[in-house]
Amino acid sequence: MRSEVVKKGIDRVAHRALLKSLGVLDEDLEKPFIGIANAYSTIVPGHINLDKITNAVKEGVYSAGGVPFDFGIIGICDGIAMGHRGMLFSLPSREIVADSIECMVEAHGFDGLVVVASCDKIVPGMLMAMLRLNIPAIAVTGGPMLSEKVRGEKVSIKDAFEASGQYKAGKISESELKLYEDFCAPYCGSCQGLYTANTMQILTETLGLSLPYCSTSPSASSRKLRIAKMSGKRVVELVKAEIRPLDIVNERSFDNAVTMDMMIGGSTNTVLHLPAIAKEAGIKLGIEKFDEISKKTPHIVSLDPASKDTVVDLDESGGVPMIIKKMKKYFSNEMTVSGKRLYEIAENAVLRGRDIIMAEKPYRNEGGIAILKGNLAKSAVVKVSAIREDMLKFEGEARVFDGEESALKAILNNEISEGDIVVIRYMGPKGAPGMPEMLLPTAAIAGMGLQKVALVTDGRFSGATRGPCIGHVVPEAIEGGIIGLLKDGDLISIDIPARKLEVELSEEEMNSRKEKWRPPKKELRGYLSRYSKLVLSAEDGAILI
């Protein structure tokens, strides 16, 4: 066992003394040591219940003959960080999560690892660590939040973000605004819709790194605790059998994850996270793979923000196993941490509620995410599943902003008109830095009732964003990308079926603007200063060199 390096031999007397100060018994020294990376905190709604879930994992470890040691991991709530300086730290925190788990596991010689988290960058960071370390490991994802109703309709956190625009547009009263504030996030768990947190949990299960139904079982449910306990037992079995993540995950596993992403219309942030996770496994997952799979994969599940259904509704429809059961021909039959292959798990899928998995009548014949290219972008990403059919092709004049705050102010002050294309630049991994999400502007556009407005940015979007919102523009503005040369009034055309993003500018005009362009300078310090120097492009998953 790896842990023998800290507990065996005459020269480890002091080590054993320190372990015994933690309550470790003599007989425990013969058992596997299991590290539990626990992202519990009292600032993240998706994580406030993780203490109970982690306790269930520990019970499972004990019952299987292991010794659990839990340690803390940071986690940023994107919703609370949204719209101010805090969002600059969100994506960069993914690398800290991965690095800190690596430090803890290597320093303490754990034999196995359980990672416990719910939210956006934390789950990807934990999966990166699992594959990098490649010791027996399993993920326990915290699960989705339940919903309540406002004005007779089920609401989610997306509705709270959009309520500000509705109030500003005179569509709801101040007392109704307060209802959205009070009831849009009523329980613990990751926010209800198919935003980044829930998308990544579903893809973790699809990759085979968590037990069946872990991703969709609600955070506060007894089933979540049972799955957590089973996961604790299972990791000890993995240690004894010497089964590691790279014995389970391979290139076909990532193809399965991208396929699932396209079927459910997941968050565009997966185009950042899956390549970063794959890299830790020695697998190159290029951005072209997303479009390749999207073109041959139907979109069969429509969840909030594309509909009023939530991840809990998907759970009642049979969750990940039911999707694979119905769409078996699209998935490769890979192994999972449960010891069963995907098809075997899928065979036992059970429908408990409404069936929202539209295998026979897909919403679209192509997947929920598309990669656009053209003279405005070497590549850009859009969530097709959250766009109305009449906006899949769109042409409009640019309204250009060098930051989110000025764009949001213009939207809320009725300075944006139907037919405009809002451009928010210098928001990329290097330019912002940290590639912040643009949920406040997109929510304001929806809340103000603007139906024919698109948004283009070198930043990224929350999974809660809906409408023709194109992000991840590469090259980003700070790197000399064409998005940095745009001016108000430039004619931009978006053709999602044709995968095109173009600006109507002559080569002569482009060259003239390039000669005059100078990158803006930002005074940076601390982590963001180091991050901006080391981060690669969005197309490369915004990983660090």
pLDDT of residue 29: 97
For the entire predicted model, the pTM comes to 0.96
Q: For 400-451, write each residue's pLDDT tens digit.
A: 999 999 999 999 999 999 999 999 999 999 999 999 998 899 889 988 889 9
Catalytic residue (choose from 462, 493, 532, 537): 462
Q: In this model, does residue 56 exceed pLDDT 90?
A: yes
Is residue 275 reached through a cis peptide bond, with omega within 30 degrees of 0 on the bond before it?
no
Q: Looking at the DSSP assignment, which residues form a beta bridge with residue 502?
A: 493
The confidence score (pLDDT) of residue 169 equals 85
Q: Tell me: pLDDT of 116 over 80.
A: yes
Question: Residue 404 carries which side chain, given as an amino acid letter?
Answer: E
Residue 465 confidence (pLDDT) above 90: no
Q: Using pLDDT thresholds of 50, 70 and 90, give the confidence band for residue 385.
A: confident
**What is the C-alpha separation between 299 and 287, in angstroms, rounded?**
19
Catalytic residue check, 253: no
For residue 222, what is the enclosing H or E element?
helix 222-241
The tens digit of pLDDT for each residue in 251-300 reads 999 999 999 999 999 999 999 999 999 999 999 999 999 999 999 999 99
* Average pLDDT over the chain, rounded to an integer: 96
Query: How far apart are alpha carbons 299 and 263 in whole angstroms?
Result: 4
- 464 has a pLDDT exceeding 80: no
The rounded distance, in Å, linking the Cα atoms of 484 and 505 is 13
Distance separating alpha carbons of residues 463 and 46, to the nearest angstrom: 15
Q: How distant, in Å, are the alpha carbons of 72, 90, 182 from that of 80?
A: 20, 11, 15
Non-local (6+) Cβ contacts of 415 within 8 A are 399
Q: Which phi and psi angles does 463 have, rounded to 5°? A: -65, -15
DSSP 109-124: T-SEEEEEE-STTHHH
* pLDDT tens-digit series, residues 477-536: 999 999 999 999 999 999 999 999 999 999 999 999 999 999 998 899 999 999 999 999
- What residues have CB less than 8 Å from 278, skipping those under 6 apart? 254, 284, 285
Say how far apart CA 296 and CA 262 lie, in whole Å: 9
Phi, psi dihedrals of residue 55, rounded to the nearest 5°: -60, -35
- The strand pairing partners of 460, in sequence order, are 437
Q: State what percent of residues in the chain have pLDDT above 90.
A: 92
Q: What is the spatial distance between Cα 243 and Cα 240, in angstroms, rounded to a whole number?
A: 8
Alpha carbon distance 198, 265 (integer Å): 12
- Please report the pLDDT score of residue 216 as a whole number: 98
Burial class (CB in 10 A: 0-12, 13-18, 19+), 329: exposed
